[in-house]
Amino acid sequence: MKKDENREYRVLLTNGKVVYFTFRELRGFVISPNVLFLCAIVLVVMTSGHPVLFPTLPDVNARLFYWVLGIFLYVLLVLPWSQLALNIWERFVSIPMPLAIVTVPFVAGITVLMEFLPETFGSLVPARSGSSNWFGFAKNITVAHLTEMIAFLWLLPLSRNAQKEISVSEAAEDAAQFIRIAGRTLPLNSVACVRNEEHYLVVKTTMGTLRLRARMNDLLIQVSDDDGIQTHRSFWVSVDEALELRGSTILTRSGYVIPVSRYRIKAVRAWCKRHGKPH
């Protein structure tokens, strides 16, 4: 389960954008204040709507009960459902899974469940004046999908930026500094060198090699000149890992050869001089 939580998934939004996330990240995001506030807005809008839009829910109390219960079930079950759907999808299909395919059966299932509540619990739950028709299903699915789009397009980036700022602040204050890359927290003193590889960072640590979906800038904003140096647009090496500057390369303790670009050679030479390394 922990391995699945750290696995990166892809979802295709209706506007054509692909969103990447892990379920460890998504778990914290679903119960974040921003998402809960968005759910509260949806609840207010839908329970105060005109009765013509809710022919099977005759009064405000009934609308409030069913929407509160529906949103609660959605928040409770959306993670296990999404993980199951994405695992099945990626087993047979290589392209990102459209968000609508995740949403439609899930919300339709919750809607059907609401239909059977009066029959199951009788007078314990508010009555419905009739069964939902296609319009009711379409309305619920549309509301859920629009809410998910808002969450992925606007709230998730805000959450990630806030988390990044917190991580950088904590790392600066903590004597044993940590860095956070693509949802993974790593001790800075365990990071030997980092190589950029398209949309990924290959991070070589004392514990092994990690391949994380991130940018070089995600690392650079968390480290200082005393921690290491960027020798090339695609390479960074720690101060403990670097042994000496030889020509246009840096030799390392682990045997890796780190290239130095001609535009950074003077800065790297000066850095080696400050840290007492042969140059």
Write out pLDDT tens, residues 47-58.
876 555 555 555
Q: Among 40-49, 76-85, 93-102, which is the least confidently predicted range? A: 40-49
Interstrand relation of 235-238 and 208-213 (parallel, antiparallel or unpaired): unpaired
The rounded distance, in Å, linking the Cα atoms of 241 and 166 is 27
Last residue of a domain, one of 171, 188, 215: 171
Token code pair at residue 245: 């500057």
The rounded distance, in Å, linking the Cα atoms of 107 and 279 is 63
The verdict on 188 and 164 lying in the same domain is: no
Average pLDDT of the segment spanning 201-207: 89
The rounded distance, in Å, linking the Cα atoms of 8 and 3 is 10
Which band of pLDDT confidence, cut at 50, 70 and 90, is reported for residue 1? very low
The verdict on 231 and 104 lying in the same domain is: no
Average pLDDT of the segment spanning 205-226: 89
The verdict on 192 and 54 lying in the same domain is: no
Last residue of a domain, one of 142, 171, 200: 171
- For the stretch 129-184, pLDDT in tens is 666 678 888 989 999 999 999 999 999 998 888 776 666 555 555 545 888 888 88
pLDDT of residue 151: 93
Whether the per-residue pLDDT at 198 is higher than 50: the answer is: yes
64: left (phi over 0), alpha (psi -120 to 50) or beta: alpha
The per-residue pLDDT of the chain, averaged, comes to 85
Token code pair at residue 170: 């904590």
Question: What sign does the CA torsion over 53, 55, 56, 62 have?
Answer: positive
Its domain, for residue 217, covers: 178-274
Last residue of a domain, one of 134, 153, 171: 171
Closest CA to 6 of 20, 14, 19: 20
The verdict on 186 and 249 lying in the same domain is: yes
Per the domain annotation, does 279 fall within a domain? no
The rounded distance, in Å, linking the Cα atoms of 133 and 55 is 10
Per the domain annotation, does 246 fall within a domain? yes
- For the stretch 225-254, pLDDT in tens is 889 999 998 999 999 999 999 989 999 988
Total number of domains in the chain: 2
The rounded distance, in Å, linking the Cα atoms of 228 and 238 is 4
Give ∠ CA 188-261-279 in degrees, rounded to 5: 75
204: left (phi over 0), alpha (psi -120 to 50) or beta: beta
- For the stretch 257-275, pLDDT in tens is 999 999 899 999 999 988 8
Whether the per-residue pLDDT at 207 is higher than 90: the answer is: no
- Give the H/E segment covering residue 196: strand 191-197
The verdict on 222 and 268 lying in the same domain is: yes
